[in-house]
Amino acid sequence: QLILTMNPNSFNLIECLPVIATVGLTWFIDTESNITFKKVIIVTCTCWLIYDFSYTNYVAMSFDFFTIISNFMGIKMIQKDKGAA
């Protein structure tokens, strides 16, 4: 994916963020820990959030923002349930 994305004439790090996010998600998709998976989603959505901001895609940015918030809330709920058990 990275080779197909990179254009030697106009290489920009922002354009690599979706590739980094996709590769990271693919790498950790089979993790056993729910918290680790939610952290991976937070990181990948942050990459997409930066990418969407740089191209002023506000609709996708709002989706990324709320996905990040919901995963933070999910981590807190999992930690709360583990503490109560």
Of 59, 30, 28, which Cα lies nearest the Cα of 44? 28
**CA separation for the pair 59, 73 (Å, rounded):** 21
Higher pLDDT, 72 or 9: 72
Phi, psi of 3 (to 5 degrees): -65, -40
Taking residues 36-54, report their average pLDDT: 96
Q: Give Cα 38 distance to the centre of its chain.
A: 9
pTM of the model: 0.84
The DSSP 8-state label assigned to residue 56 in this structure reads T
- Residue 82 predicted with pLDDT over 80: yes
